[in-house]
Amino acid sequence: MAQYYVQTDSDGYITKALAALTEQDNAADYQLIMIASQYDNQFATNFTKWRISELGVPLAPGNLPKVTVEEFNQTLQGYKEQLEAANETIADQTKQLSQLSELVPQVQEMVIQLTQMQGQTDTTMKQVQQMIIQLTQAMGQLSAGTTTEEGK
């Protein structure tokens, strides 16, 4: 089923048909109608031949083929299958999101642990840097002491 926004003349014939309204279009000036999928091409090319009844039902010109109940049911069955597939996809994605949301606390805990480990690593690095500085100073003193004793 395709939907159109239409305007009609005083006899109910469609004068303007839009697949969608734009921001410039005033919705109050249009009537929303539904056209059966098998008539969509005919409507799109010859919408001025169509009328809207007093009840708001689109009336096709007399030269269009009649829609049988079987064709209508087949179309509905196709839509049903599409909706079922979409619902199944939604259910699968909901399940995946649920599983992922269960992992969030575990990931948060891991981040906390890594942050703590980084703090410990930073402290250890500072201690190692201090030891290197002390060793460098001690080597400088030893080197200065050795140079002094060699000069005597």
Question: How far are the Cα atoms of 34, 43, 45, 137 from residue 64, in angstroms, in the given order?
Answer: 16, 10, 13, 101
Spatial separation of the C-alpha atoms in residues 51 and 29, rounded to whole Å: 16
Q: Is the pLDDT of residue 148 over 90?
A: no
pLDDT digit string, tens, across residues 62-98: 756 677 788 888 888 999 999 999 999 999 999 999 8
pLDDT over threshold 60, residue 147: no
The β-bridge relationship of strands 14-18 and 51-52 is unpaired
Residues 84/69, Cβ–Cβ less than 8 Å:
no
| Average confidence score pLDDT of the chain | 85
> What is the pTM assigned to this prediction?
0.43
Q: What are phi and psi of 60, to 5 degrees?
A: -75, 155
pLDDT band at 146 (very low <50, low <70, confident <90, very high): low
DSSP for residue 65: P
